[in-house]
Amino acid sequence: MAETNTLPLTAKTLVFDTTSQTLHLHDSLPVPIPNPAKNDHLIHVKTTALCARELEWPALYPVAIFLENPEKRVTPGYDLAGTVITAPQASPFNPGDEIYARTLPSRPGNCREYTIARTEEMALKPQKLDWVKAATVPLSALTAWQALFDHAGVKGFDDPNAGKIKVLVVAAAGGVGVWVVQLARMAGLEVVAQVGSAKNEKFVKGLGASKTVNYKTESLKQWAEREGPVDIVFDLLGGKTLEDAWFCVKDRGALISIVEPPEERRPEVLKNKAVKNEFFIMKPNGQQLAVISKFLDEGKFEAVVDSVWDLEDYEGAFERLNGGHANGKVVIKVAK
């Protein structure tokens, strides 16, 4: 483990007050202390990226969020790009390594100058990505990867039936959507992307979508009546959109949501429709992230940045995030 006697004792840290529902930037909260027995690494944070609705998680999932956070200090930003400061003895990562990760939300997040990441969460940062672009990748890319290959049943990038599979991606221009589009395209699937503007139509077609549906001019149900159902639907919005998504998926197809259980939004008229439907929460996975790093360095994927904010401008970052119209990820620069 590297020497820590030159490290500051305190650091800037963004904290979400769950009582007042407000964010506050503290100048001198303690630097976290890594536990080598838990594969903890101390990381100097360069950038983090925000996730939609993450400030709602403490109220929605208090047991999970505070599982390893006895102080119940909520720091947002669970994507991470930074430099290893200290590493446990058996770690494959060394002090000075440039890494990125999706860290578990059961611990404080990464809107702070120093944070903790664990071996199983981490991968080396793609060499071709700068700190800003690197922060956009882990959560979104891993969610898309696991949705496609772990839950929807797509058999990797060598599926002989891939060309016969048609997928619909809801909210395709958002942080996760852009990765579902790119991964599905690379796997050889036909991709239909739901968007809300001509600008976003051009954007997602540039990522690999062959067709689009504009939610401002027709609902998913109307689109399915006109175009016919698809093999897989990826829901990234929930609510009425998820309800309509049931009309878009074929019998014996798959409906995958990262927002809420699809079964709870099944229309009564489709109560007997045989569809594999799943809700899942992505899991940090450094091994999968390392494969994604390889593809990024080969230029096969694009990391999509919506906007970049300094840590001191956190209010603007969250306003942009919560506005619902971000294309790609909202990034916060932590290190100057």
Task: Tell me the mean pLDDT in the region 225-245.
Answer: 97
The reported pLDDT for the residue numbered 57 is 95
The reported pLDDT for the residue numbered 293 is 97
Contacts of 159 (CB under 8 A, 6+ apart): 165, 187, 188
In the numeric block, the tokens 């609510």 are attached to 239
**pTM listed for this prediction:** 0.94
The reported pLDDT for the residue numbered 5 is 53
Residue-wise pLDDT for 162-184, tens only, equals 999 999 999 999 999 999 999 99
The reported pLDDT for the residue numbered 3 is 41
For the ranges 2-11, 67-76, 80-89, 297-306, which has the lowest average pLDDT?
A: 2-11
Name the pLDDT band for 2 (thresholds 50, 70, 90).
very low
Residue-wise pLDDT for 249-269, tens only, equals 999 999 999 999 999 999 999
Residue closest to 81 by CA, chosen among 136, 130, 32, 135? 135
pLDDT at 1 over 80: no
Percent of the chain with pLDDT over 70: 99
Beta strand 230-235 with 249-257 is parallel
Distance CA 287, CA 122 (A): 8
Task: Tell me the mean pLDDT in the region 193-219.
Answer: 95
3-state secondary structure of 269: helix
Contacts of 88 (CB under 8 A, 6+ apart): 1, 34, 36, 37, 39, 40, 41, 119
**How high does pLDDT run on average in the chain?**
95
pLDDT at 45 over 50: yes
Do 41 and 116 contact (CB within 8 A), yes or no? Answer: yes
Residue type, 168: L
Name the pLDDT band for 326 (thresholds 50, 70, 90).
confident
CB atoms closer than 10 angstroms to residue 157? 13
